[in-house]
C-alpha cells in the first residue's frame, strides 16, 4: 500500500484548525456536536490509509523524521520504532496539533512585534530592538540555519523567539488531574506577564531579558516529564527559519484597519492573544527590492 505523505502533511493542519474552532466556539447543541463529529470523521478518513497497517504508519513517521534530520542536522530527532510510536500512533493528533498550533503563533507574533508595532505607535522607542542587529543576525543564521548558529551566532534571534513565547504562549492554560481526580489549571499567560516574575516591564516586548538566563517562571512548553519534546532545539530552530525567511524578504507589513482594532489593545499592552483576533486578518506585504 502506498501512503501519500504529502497529502497527510498538507491537508491535516486545515482540518485540525477547523476542528479546533468548532470545538471552542460552538455551543454544545446536538446540531453543533454533529458538526464537530463530522470534522473528526474527515480527519480519521485522512489517516485511515496510514493507520490501517502499523508498518505503513511507521513509514510515514520515519519519512517525516528523515525530512527533519536532513534539514536540521544538529537537532535531536530520534529514530522511529514500533515501541516508541505505539502511543502517538493511536492518535495522530498527538503529533500534529502541538507542532502546528505552536509554530504559527510564535512566527506571527514575532513578526508583529518586530515589524508592525513600531508603525502603530508614533512615539515607539524600544531600545531593545536594534534593527541592524536583527538584520545581521538573520543573514548570519540563514547562511547556516541550525540550532548551533541560532544560540551562538544569532543570539538576538533566539531571544526574540523566547520573548514571543513568553508574551504569547501558544498554550495559555495547562490542565492536569491530580491523584484525587481534581483538575488543576495553570494560567501560563498570567505567570508569563506577572510583574513579580518579570519586573514592571512585564507587558513590554524586551527580548534581551533572555540574554542572561532563563527565568524559572518561563513555561511555554510546560515543565518536567510532560515538557514538549521539541522545546529545546527543534521548535526554536524551525521558528527561527520561518521568521528569518520572512524578515529577509519582507520590507513592510501593513495591517487593515479592522485587523489593527482587533489586535492592538493599547500602546503599552501586548497584542490580543486569541483566535478571534484573526477572524478577519487583513495584511499587505511589501517585498524587499
Rounded Cα–Cα distance for residues 74 and 146 (Å): 6
Q: Is residue 61, in this structure, part of any structural domain at all?
A: yes
Whole-model pTM above 0.85? no
What count of other Cβ atoms lies within 10 Å of the Cβ of residue 85? 17
Query: In the predicted model, what is the mean pLDDT of the chain?
Result: 75
CB 156 within 8 A of CB 141: no
Rounded Cα–Cα distance for residues 36 and 277 (Å): 22
List the domain range (segments joined by +) for residue 63. Answer: 1-90
Name the band, by pLDDT with cuts 50, 70 and 90, for residue 180.
confident
Q: In 3D, which of 279, 261, 243, 256 has the Cα closest to residue 115?
A: 243
Q: Is residue 44, in this structure, part of any structural domain at all?
A: yes
Rounded Cα–Cα distance for residues 270 and 109 (Å): 10
Name the band, by pLDDT with cuts 50, 70 and 90, for residue 136.
very high
Rounded Cα–Cα distance for residues 204 and 147 (Å): 26
Q: Is residue 228, in this structure, part of any structural domain at all?
A: no
Q: Is residue 39, in this structure, part of any structural domain at all?
A: yes
| Domain total of the chain | 1
Rounded Cα–Cα distance for residues 105 and 273 (Å): 9
Q: Is residue 178, in this structure, part of any structural domain at all?
A: no
Q: Is residue 16, in this structure, part of any structural domain at all?
A: yes
**Least trusted range by pLDDT, from 1-10, 19-28, 68-77, 149-158:** 68-77
CB 134 within 8 A of CB 155: no
pLDDT of residue 85: 43
pLDDT tens sequence across 80-97? 444 444 444 445 555 555
Q: Is residue 49, in this structure, part of any structural domain at all?
A: yes
Is 85 in a helix, a strand, or coil? helix
pLDDT tens sequence across 22-64? 665 555 666 777 777 777 677 666 666 554 445 555 555 555 5
pLDDT of residue 153: 86
Helical packing angle, 234-249 and 93-111, nearest 10°: 40
Rounded Cα–Cα distance for residues 158 and 160 (Å): 5
Amino acid at each position: 500500500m502506498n501512503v501519500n505523505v504529502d497529502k497527510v502533511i498538507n491537508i491535516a493542519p486545515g482540518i485540525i484548525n477547523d476542528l479546533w474552532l468548532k470545538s471552542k466556539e460552538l455551543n454544545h447543541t446536538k446540531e453543533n456536536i454533529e458538526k464537530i463529529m463530522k470534522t473528526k470523521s474527515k480527519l480519521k478518513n485522512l489517516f485511515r490509509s496510514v493507520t490501517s497497517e502499523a508498518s505503513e504508519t511507521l513509514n510515514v513517521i520515519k519519512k517525516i523524521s528523515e525530512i527533519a534530520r536532513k534539514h536540521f542536522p544538529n537537532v535531536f530527532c530520534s529514530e522511529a520504532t514500533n515501541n516508541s510510536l505505539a502511543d502517538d500512533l493511536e492518535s495522530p493528533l498527538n503529533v500534529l496539533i502541538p507542532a502546528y498550533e505552536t509554530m504559527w503563533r510564535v512566527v506571527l507574533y514575532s513578526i508583529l512585534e518586530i515589524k508592525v508595532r513600531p508603525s502603530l505607535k508614533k512615539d515607539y522607542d524600544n531600545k531593545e530592538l536594534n534593527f541592524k542587529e536583527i538584520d545581521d543576525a538573520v543573514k548570519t543564521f540563514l547562511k547556516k540555519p541550525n540550532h548551533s548558529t541560532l544560540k551562538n551566532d544569532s543570539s538576538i534571534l533566539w531571544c526574540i523567539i523566547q520573548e514571543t513565547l513568553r508574551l504569547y504562549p501558544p498554550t495559555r492554560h495547562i490542565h492536569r488531574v491530580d491523584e484525587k481526580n481534581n483538575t488543576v489549571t495553570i494560567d501560563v499567560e498570567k505567570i508569563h506577564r506577572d510583574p513579580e516574575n518579570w519586573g514592571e516591564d512585564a507587558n513590554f516586548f524586551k527580548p534581551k531579558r533572555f540574554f542572561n538566563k532563563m527565568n524559572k517562571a518561563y513555561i511555554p512548553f510546560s515543565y518536567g516529564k510532560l515538557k514538549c519534546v521539541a522545546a529545546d532545539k527543534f521548535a526554536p530552530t524551525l521558528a527561527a527559519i520561518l521568521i528569518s525567511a520572512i524578515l529577509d524578504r519582507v520590507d513592510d507589513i501593513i495591517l487593515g484597519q479592522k485587523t489593527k482594532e482587533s489586535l492592538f489593545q493599547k500602546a503599552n499592552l501586548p497584542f490580543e492573544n486569541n483566535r478571534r483576533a484573526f477572524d478577519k486578518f487583513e495584511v499587505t506585504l511589501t517585498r524587499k527590492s
